Amino acid sequence: MNYLKTALSAILVISPFSFLGAEGLENDPSYFTIADTVVNVREVEAPEEPADLVMPERKAAPVAAAGAIINGGATAWNIVNGGQASSHLSHTYASALPGWGNWHNITGWRGPKKVVYELKSKNLYGMTVLDVQYEVSFFYGGHDQNNRGKYITNFTAKATRFSIKWGFKYYMDIRISDPMNVGTPEDPLAYMQADVNWSFSSPIKTTRGFQTYAVRGDGMFRDISPDAGKMAEELAPPQAPEKVTVEWN
């Protein structure tokens, strides 16, 4: 009997809200107060071989100026909506491709280059109330048959892990800027920028922010967010990309 009494006391000490329902937590500011948030960023190891991508046949685009680059994919999508990660992102991406339309002649793709972000927030009880992992990735280095240009394709951001506790809400979406040519008309170098907007809320507080990512056709990735700090350092292009199959819309 004493053993059971001791065990029950230990449970109550370790988890003071274990037996509280949602109504009890609603009036508990310690549960909803964020005490600590940790963000980690890492680059996934470079794959081994160039990617052998087959570009789809496309109808000829209107005549564009030399070196013009267009977005051949999406311009915005939702990554996390409230309490659930979007599950339809396997074919959602942006691309920076030549404006002349016969994209199936673009070869030499390298990648994918992947940068993984992990975010964990704990409340005053030490509970992890938010656990998000999302991945920014893209293929780069595609060029025409004369070995000119360095383009980008399958530039995407998607959640790969998402967990959130009751009473909290998290939203994340991405918007892609128009691609630019930062090279020359004769030898284009594609550049794209993405803004990832997020909000994290509870009944007592809402926090909003954004991250800005820049990618280039030579494999450069840079986090240029105002509060990125060390994460804003350039990550070198991987040396040995992976052989993969990419699906197109």
My answer on whether 86 and 128 are in the same domain is yes
Q: From CA 87, how far away is CA 220, in angstroms rounded?
A: 28
My answer on whether 44 and 73 are in the same domain is yes
User: Which stretches of the chain are assigned E, i.e. beta strand?
Assistant: 34-43, 69-71, 76-81, 84-85, 94-98, 110-123, 128-142, 151-164, 169-176, 180-181, 190-202, 205-216, 221-223
Q: From CA 34, how far away is CA 207, in angstroms rounded?
A: 11
| pLDDT value of residue 18 | 46
My answer on whether 121 and 195 are in the same domain is yes
Domain of residue 8: give its range: 1-32
Q: Which two tokens stand for residue 115?
A: 């940068």
Residue 242 covered by a domain:
no
| pLDDT value of residue 47 | 64
| pLDDT value of residue 29 | 87
Name the domain count of the chain.
2
Residues 6+ away with beta carbon under 8 Å from 202? 32, 167, 168, 169
Q: Which residue, 170, 161, 159, is CA-closest to 200?
A: 170
Provide the whole-model pTM.
0.76
User: In the chain, what percentage of residues exceed pLDDT 70?
Assistant: 68
Residue 246 covered by a domain:
no
Q: From CA 247, how far away is CA 245, in angstroms rounded?
A: 7
Question: pLDDT for 51-67, tens place per residue?
Answer: 655 554 444 444 455 56
**What value does the mean pLDDT take over residues 233-244?**
39
My answer on whether 86 and 45 are in the same domain is yes
Question: pLDDT for 2-54, tens place per residue?
Answer: 444 444 343 334 444 444 455 556 678 889 988 888 989 998 866 655 665 55
My answer on whether 114 and 3 are in the same domain is no
Residue 129 covered by a domain:
yes
Question: pLDDT for 68-114, tens place per residue?
Answer: 899 989 999 999 988 788 766 667 899 999 987 667 788 999 999 99
pLDDT of 133 over the 70 cut: yes
My answer on whether 49 and 115 are in the same domain is yes
Structure-model confidence comparison of residues 4 and 177, the more confident one:
177
**What value does the mean pLDDT take over residues 156-185?**
93
Residue 238 covered by a domain:
no
Residue 228 covered by a domain:
yes
My answer on whether 64 and 172 are in the same domain is yes
CA angle 175, 178, 183 (to 5 degrees): 135
pLDDT band at residue 134, thresholds of 50, 70 and 90? Answer: very high
CA R_g for the chain: 23
**What value does the mean pLDDT take over residues 133-161?**
93
My answer on whether 142 and 39 are in the same domain is yes
| pLDDT value of residue 131 | 95
Question: Residue 105: is it exposed, middle or buried by C-beta count within 10 angstroms (0-12/13-18/19+)?
Answer: middle
Residue 247 covered by a domain:
no
Q: From CA 153, how far away is CA 149, in angstroms rounded?
A: 13
Structure-model confidence comparison of residues 15 and 218, the more confident one:
218
| pLDDT value of residue 168 | 93
My answer on whether 77 and 1 are in the same domain is no
**Three-state DSSP class for 229?**
helix
My answer on whether 15 and 71 are in the same domain is no
Q: From CA 228, how far away is CA 40, in angstroms rounded?
A: 11
Residue 241 covered by a domain:
no
pLDDT band at residue 170, thresholds of 50, 70 and 90? Answer: very high
The DSSP-derived string for 73-104 is: S-SEEEEEETTEE-S-GGG--EEEEETTS-GG
My answer on whether 103 and 192 are in the same domain is yes
| pLDDT value of residue 28 | 82
My answer on whether 194 and 102 are in the same domain is yes
pLDDT of 243 over the 90 cut: no
* CA 26, chain centre distance (Å): 32
- Using the Cα atoms of residue 89, residue 90, residue 96 and residue 99 in order, give the sign of their dihedral: negative
Residue 213 covered by a domain:
yes
